[in-house]
Amino acid sequence: MEILRDLKTDWVYLGFRYRFPIPYSPSEEPDFFNEVEIREAERQGYTFSQLKESIEKLRREMPNILLHRWIGDRILLLEG
């Protein structure tokens, strides 16, 4: 957040990108993903719940920023 704020960022491109399935949450019970895969995704910040938390924090601290993200083969443009 500090880097984005210091640079007076108004647009983030490819802020979150992955190509393979990822867990929804670090607290997800092992099923499709085993315990090691869930912990590794959590360590890397690659769970959907971590993405949601990050977007919410970004929106609170920088409400006018544009977030352009790529998820799989879908492109989404989120405007504040």
Q: Which two tokens stand for residue 10?
A: 């108004």
pLDDT of residue 64: 86
Task: Report the half-sphere exposure of 38 (CA within 13 A, side-chain side).
Answer: 14
At residue 75, φ and ψ (nearest 5 deg) are -115, 130
Residues 7-54 pLDDT 10s:
788 877 666 666 678 898 999 899 999 999 999 999 988 888 988 888
- Which position has the higher pLDDT, 14 or 66? 66
77 versus 15: the higher-pLDDT residue is 15
Give the tokens for residue 56: 């919410």
**How long, in residues, is the chain?**
80
Domain ranges in the chain are 2-78
